[in-house]
Each structure stands twice: as C-alpha cells, then as structure tokens.
C-alpha cells in the first residue's frame, strides 16, 4: 500500500514539474533534475526516492508528447553539496524543474538557488515549514512538522492514553527546529 502511495506522489511530482516547461518547448526532451543524498548519512532516503522516481518515469516516460529525462546529482547528504547540485542542474544540465532534496536542511540550501532562477522545485519529504514559506517556486509533497507533531500528540493522548511526553531534539538540525 505504501508503494502505491509513493508511486502516486512521485507521479504527481513529475506531472507538476512538467507543467513548468515553457523554456523546454523548443526541445524534444524535458529535463527534470533530481538532487538527492545517494551517499552519506541519509543515503537511504535519497536511494528510495530515486527508486520511486525511476518507477514513475518507467510508467510515464513522456509529458506533453515529449520524452522526460531525469538527471540525478548526488548531494552526499551535505548542505553545500545540495546547493552546488541545484546550481549544476540549472546552469549545466538546463533542467526545467527540480525534485529534491530529501531532508529539510539540504532542501533549504538548494531552494534559494532554484527560486532565484524561477525553476520550480518539489521536495518529496522536506518537512520544515521554512522550506516553502514565502517561496513562489518551492513545493512539497508531505505534511509539515507542526502538523505531524499535533497528530502524533493527539494519537498518544487519545489512543495510547499517554499523560506525559519527552522530546529530545538536536537544535543544530533544521529538521528538529521545524
């Protein structure tokens, strides 16, 4: 069931990205960039998202009658690499839309670059509210942290009958302060 949900989400992401292809109408190929952590501390997230993108691409390899080409850049689970990846996708690869990054901090490092270039960027899993706040070209396909926290707290209170809770956070991580 989860696999079907992810496929639907990724299909919507690819379709959304294809909607912003005005510069690519002269081309026979629509290039969509993906900047994901394929190596490093959170590589498992990036690898799963890339697998999902490939499945969605196999099922829907065209949009607007044109071939979709996915271009992947590994962020190595690093904010600086994420920002560099977005620059590379825009400047060198000439993508018309971007999917990524997997985690909030890396997405927040890449978004100012895609925003300045007016290239739409969709993160499948970045949950920090600041990822999209005040942005015109940044989107997400998941719930934000405050909403998830409220739902989890309500579940713990109503179904687990919890009376107390403890929260451990690492304030150095953008994910934890979202």
Nearest to 7 by CA among 60, 69, 59, 52: 52
DSSP class per residue in 9-69: HHHHHHHHHHTT-GGGTTSSEEEEEEEE--SSTTHHHHHHHHHHHHHHHHH--EETTEEEE
Ordered by start, the domain boundaries in the chain are 2-144
Q: What pLDDT is stored for residue 19 in this prediction?
A: 57
Q: Is the pLDDT of residue 25 over 80?
A: no
Q: Which CATH class is domain 2-144?
A: alpha beta
Residues 68 and 20: their CA atoms lie apart, in Å, by 13
Residues 124 and 143: their CA atoms lie apart, in Å, by 10
Which residues have CB under 8 Å from 153's CB, separation 6+? 165
- Tell me: the pLDDT tens digits for 45-103? 999 999 999 999 999 999 999 999 999 999 999 999 999 999 999 999 999 999 999 99
pTM: 0.81
């Amino acid at each position: 069931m989860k696999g079907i949900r992810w496929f639907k989400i990724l299909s919507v992401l690819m379709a959304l990205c294809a909607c912003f292809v005005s510069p690519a109408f002269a081309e026979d190929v629509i290039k969509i960039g993906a900047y994901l952590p394929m190596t490093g501390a959170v590589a498992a997230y990036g690898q799963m998202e890339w697998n999902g993108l490939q499945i969605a691409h196999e099922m829907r390899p065209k949009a607007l009658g044109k071939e979709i080409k996915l271009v992947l850049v590994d962020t190595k689970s690093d904010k600086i690499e994420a920002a560099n990846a977005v620059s590379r996708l825009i400047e060198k690869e000439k993508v018309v839309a971007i999917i990524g990054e997997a985690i909030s901090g890396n997405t927040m490092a890449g978004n100012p670059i895609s925003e300045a270039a007016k290239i739409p960027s969709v993160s499948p899993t970045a949950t920090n509210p600041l990822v999209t706040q005040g942005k015109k070209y940044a989107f997400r396909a998941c719930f934000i942290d405050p909403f998830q926290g409220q739902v989890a707290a309500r579940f713990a209170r109503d179904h687990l009958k919890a009376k107390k809770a403890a929260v451990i956070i690492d304030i150095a991580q953008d994910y934890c302060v979202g």
